[in-house]
Amino acid sequence: MERVEKWWRNAVGYQINLKSFFDSNNDGKGDLKGVIDKIPYIKNLGVDFVWLSPFYSSPDYDNGYDVSDFLSVGSDFGSMDDFNNLVEMLHENNIRIIIDLVLNHTSSQHEWFKESKKGEESKYYDYYFWENPKNGGGPPNNWESFFGGSVWTFDEKLEKYYFHSFSKYQPDLNWNNEAVRHEIRNIIDWWVEKGVDGFRIDAATHLKKEDWEYDNSENKWGAFTNVPGLNNYLDELKIAYGKHNLYIVGEAGGINVNEAKYWMEEKEYFNSIFDLDHIYKIGIPGFEKGDISRLKSSLVEWQEKLNDSMSHGIYLENHDTPRSISIFGDETPQCAKALATLLIGLSGTCFVYQGEEIGMTNYNFTKNSELLTEDSKNKYSSLLSRNIPEPVALKIAGRWARDHSRTTMQWDNSINGGFSKTHCLPLLTNSNYQSINVTSQITDKSSILNYYRFLIQLRHEEEILHEGKFVNLDKYSQDIFFFSRETEEGAILFLINLRNFEVSYTPFKEFFLSKYEVISPDTNKVDFTNRRITIDPYEIIILKTNFKND
CB nearer ligand GLC, residue 106 or residue 520: 106
The least distance separating ligand GLC from the CB of residue 202, rounded to whole angstroms, comes to 5
CB nearer ligand GLC, residue 113 or residue 166: 166
Burial of 239 (0-12, 13-18, 19+ CB in 10 A): exposed
Three-class DSSP category at 379: helix
| Residue 413-442 contact track with ligand GLC, rule CB under 6 A, x = bound | ------------------------------
The least distance separating ligand GLC from the CB of residue 278, rounded to whole angstroms, comes to 16
| Residue 435-474 contact track with ligand GLC, rule CB under 6 A, x = bound | ----------------------------------------
Instruction: Map the footprint of ligand GLC across residues 363-392, applying CB under 6 A.
Output: none
The least distance separating ligand GLC from the CB of residue 301, rounded to whole angstroms, comes to 22
Give backbone dihedrals phi and psi of 139, rounded to 5 degrees, phi first. -70, 160
* Integer CA distances (angstroms), 306 to 13, 126, 471, in order: 19, 39, 12
The reply to whether 320 sits near ligand GLC by the rule CB under 6 A is yes
One DSSP character per residue, 523-549 reads ------GGG-EEE-TT-EEEEEESS--
The reply to whether 48 sits near ligand GLC by the rule CB under 6 A is no
Residues with Cβ < 8 Å from 269, sequence gap 6 or more? 231, 234, 235, 237, 238, 248, 250, 263
Instruction: Map the footprint of ligand GLC across residues 126-145, applying CB under 6 A.
Output: none
For the annotated catalytic residues, the residue numbers are 202, 251
Instruction: Map the footprint of ligand GLC across residues 277-316, applying CB under 6 A.
Output: none
Among 82, 202, 317, 539, binds ligand GLC (CB under 6 A): 202
Which single residue brings its beta carbon nearest to ligand GLC?
A: 65
Query: How many residues contact ligand GLC, by CB under 6 A?
Result: 10
Instruction: Map the footprint of ligand GLC across residues 240-269, applying CB under 6 A.
Output: 251
CB nearer ligand GLC, residue 67 or residue 540: 67
The least distance separating ligand GLC from the CB of residue 315, rounded to whole angstroms, comes to 11
From 62-70, 118-126, 304-312, 535-543, span contacting ligand GLC (CB under 6 A)? 62-70
The reply to whether 102 sits near ligand GLC by the rule CB under 6 A is yes
Between CA 354 and CA 408 the distance in angstroms is 9
Contact (Cβ atoms closer than 8 angstroms) between residue 477 and residue 490: no
The least distance separating ligand GLC from the CB of residue 155, rounded to whole angstroms, comes to 21
Among 61, 65, 191, 411, binds ligand GLC (CB under 6 A): 65
Three-state SS sequence of 268-335: CCCCEEECCCCCCEECCCCCCEECHHHHHHHHHHHHHHCCCCCCEEEECCCCCCCCHHHHCCCCCHHH
**Helical spans, DSSP H, in 110-213:** 111-116, 178-193
The reply to whether 166 sits near ligand GLC by the rule CB under 6 A is yes
CB nearer ligand GLC, residue 203 or residue 436: 203
Q: Any idea what the Cα angle at residue 223 is, between residues 220 and 224, rounded to 5°?
A: 105
Residues with Cβ < 8 Å from 530, sequence gap 6 or more? none
CB nearer ligand GLC, residue 45 or residue 203: 203
Q: What is the DSSP-derived secondary structure letter of residue 384? A: H
Between CA 75 and CA 406 the distance in angstroms is 20
Contacts with ligand GLC by CB under 6 A lie at 62-63, 65, 102, 166, 202-203, 251, 319-320
